[in-house]
């Protein structure tokens, strides 16, 4: 979730049309389309594989301060606590922020190619790894904490998370698990206009269960196999029905920016940020806010910053802001982190590939899409679909993406296009063996049921 900082107040919103225009302003010509990759990871104390606290000489606060001192990234503070780092003038970099349980997130810069994403990711892992090593901290990339209980995890000093902690349990049984014990990789993709946005949104939503299966990487809970391929995705199934899910209305006639605005207006809010403080308005409607009818802020109307904040608290499988966020994948090792932007760039940034992907999903029903989403967390690529399995669909999708990347023709210094980043997914589709399957094989084989071996073998 993005981090707010103090600054000039944005204009007050006077009408619903301004909210529509805000989304529409994300439209860009194809030459300006970019790829923005975000990934989260769990820090652990190398000495005993325990969670890393926020404070202390070897905590997350110390890590962020040291990163600032070593690499010059600007600190962002809340109530005196460093909660993020930004690198606004870096050609690659973006920002580093904290999720509720201390998951460290890189929000990458919008970049032209997957090759640039790889450079950004390597730079980040090198820098944060060098700092972390001095503090006795390691990192792992998985979709769900493999060992720790909810009670063992620290709470980061961000007031918005306290508001969410109070509200989440009123809406579902796994909201706190989602906040504290999950980690994801996602990619942000641009669109040309409203029609292009709708096509990409529909392809993204329909194929998000395929991405969940290909990137499934969370088969352990509290040291034992949990029976799921993606326990992270399972957590999202009972987090908050108001703000999660497959957005079936996106496939209806008349879908566009206005329809998404109407959906977002009625998703309950979490907070309003004013004068450096987060005001708890959990459960209130942005529609009421637009009309100056918030009980906690009578007569106050929202600004564009409030609208931007609110949009970041919606968690559907694909989220629309001024770009589209593909949100279905578990965090993972380097090869998986690179494969996600390659997959979606191949599918969405080549016209022929987008046509193929649109044709592939054209006759899928809302019931089929939802059933896939329901079954994928447990069954992954073995999820039944139309007389076969989701593996059959995944292989087609990866081939479409590979052809799209070839036609894109974005070459690195060695003259190689972006298809190399899809190698991990090609192997997964052909072998039918997911990252979760590989972890389980190691657990039942060389690890001999010892989950601590995961921290040794899978550290980033």
pLDDT digits (tens, 9 = 90+) for 348-368: 999 999 999 999 999 999 999
Question: pLDDT-based confidence at 175, cuts 50/70/90?
Answer: very high
With a pLDDT cut of 90, the percent of the chain lying above it is 96
d(CA 194, CA 9): 28
Per-residue pLDDT tens over the stretch 302-333:
999 999 999 999 999 999 999 999 999 999 99
Token reading at 387 = 């007389």
Q: How many CA atoms lie within 13 A of 320 on its CB side?
A: 33
Q: What is the pLDDT of residue 88?
A: 76
DSSP state for residue 227 in the 8-state scheme: S
DSSP labels, 34-84: -EEEEEEEEEEETTT-PBPPSSSTTSHHHHHHHHHHHH-PEEEEETTEEEE
Q: What's the mean pLDDT when you consider all of the chain?
A: 96
State how many domains the chain has: 1
Does residue 104 belong to any structural domain of this protein? yes
Does residue 363 belong to any structural domain of this protein? yes
Phi, psi at 106, each rounded to 5°: -95, 120
Name the pTM for this structure: 0.96
Question: pLDDT-based confidence at 91, cuts 50/70/90?
Answer: confident
Per DSSP, which regions of 194-303 are E strands?
A: 220-221, 224-225, 244-245, 271-274, 277-280
Residue in the block written with tokens 């980061």: 156
Question: pLDDT-based confidence at 2, cuts 50/70/90?
Answer: low
Does residue 6 belong to any structural domain of this protein? no
Does residue 2 belong to any structural domain of this protein? no
CATH of the domain at 94: 3.30.590.20
Question: pLDDT-based confidence at 8, cuts 50/70/90?
Answer: low
Burial class (CB in 10 A: 0-12, 13-18, 19+), 406: middle
Shortest CA distance to 121 belongs to which of 104, 108, 131, 111? 108
Does residue 51 belong to any structural domain of this protein? yes
Stretch 73-88: mean pLDDT: 95
Does residue 114 belong to any structural domain of this protein? yes
Q: Which residues contact 452 (CB under 8 A, 6 or more apart)?
A: 49, 147
Q: Which domain holds residue 66?
A: 16-457
User: 397, 347 in Cβ contact below 8 A?
Assistant: yes
The number of angstroms, rounded, from the C-alpha of 319 to the middle of its chain's C-alpha atoms is: 10
Question: pLDDT-based confidence at 7, cuts 50/70/90?
Answer: low
Does residue 5 belong to any structural domain of this protein? no
Q: What is the pLDDT of residue 5?
A: 54
Does residue 80 belong to any structural domain of this protein? yes
């Amino acid at each position: 979730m993005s981090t707010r900082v103090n600054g000039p107040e944005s204009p007050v919103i006077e009408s619903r049309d301004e909210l529509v225009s805000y989304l529409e302003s994300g439209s860009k010509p194809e030459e300006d389309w970019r790829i923005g990759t975000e990934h989260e990871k769990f820090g652990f104390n190398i000495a005993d594989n325990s969670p890393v606290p926020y404070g202390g000489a070897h905590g997350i606060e110390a890590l962020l301060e040291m990163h600032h001192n070593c690499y010059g990234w600007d600190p962002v503070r809340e109530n005196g606590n460093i909660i993020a780092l930004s690198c606004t003038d870096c050609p690659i970099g973006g920002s580093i922020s904290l999720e509720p349980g201390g998951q460290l997130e890189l929000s990458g810069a919008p970049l032209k190619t997957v090759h640039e994403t790889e450079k950004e990711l390597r730079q980040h892992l090198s820098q944060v790894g060098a700092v972390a090593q001095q503090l006795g901290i390691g990192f792992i990339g998985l979709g769900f904490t493999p060992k720790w209980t909810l009670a063992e995890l620290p709470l980061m000093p961000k007031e918005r998370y306290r508001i969410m902690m109070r509200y989440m349990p009123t809406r579902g049984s796994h909201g706190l698990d989602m906040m504290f014990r999950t980690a994801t990789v996602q990619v942000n993709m641009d669109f040309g206009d409203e029609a292009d946005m709708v096509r990409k949104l529909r392809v993204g939503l329909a194929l998000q269960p395929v991405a969940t299966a290909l990137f499934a990487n969370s088969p352990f809970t509290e040291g034992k196999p949990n029976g799921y391929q993606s326990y992270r995705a399972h957590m999202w199934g009972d987090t908050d029905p108001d703000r999660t899910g497959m957005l079936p209305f996106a496939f209806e006639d008349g879908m566009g920016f206005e329809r998404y605005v109407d959906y977002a207006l009625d998703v309950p809010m979490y907070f309003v940020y004013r004068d450096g403080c987060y005001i708890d308005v959990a459960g209130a409607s942005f529609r009421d806010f637009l009309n100056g009818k918030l009980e906690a802020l009578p007569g106050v109307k929202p600004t564009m910053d409030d609208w931007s904040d609110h949009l970041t608290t919606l968690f559907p499988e694909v989220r629309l802001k001024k770009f589209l966020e593909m949100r279905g994948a578990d965090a993972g090792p380097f090869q998986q982190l690179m494969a996600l932007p390659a997959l979606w760039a191949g599918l969405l940034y080549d016209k022929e590939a987008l046509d193929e992907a649109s044709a592939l999903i054209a006759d899928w029903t809302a019931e089929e899409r939802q059933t896939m989403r329901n079954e994928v967390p447990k069954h992954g690529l073995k999820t039944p679909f139309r007389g076969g399995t989701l593996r059959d669909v995944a292989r087609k999708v990866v081939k479409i993406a590979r052809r799209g990347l070839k036609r894109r023709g974005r070459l690195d210094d060695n003259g190689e296009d972006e298809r190399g980043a899809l190698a991990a997914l090609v192997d997964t589709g052909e072998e039918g063996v997911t990252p979760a399957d590989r972890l389980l094989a190691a657990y039942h084989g060389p690890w001999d049921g010892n989950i601590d071996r995961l921290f040794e073998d899978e550290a980033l």
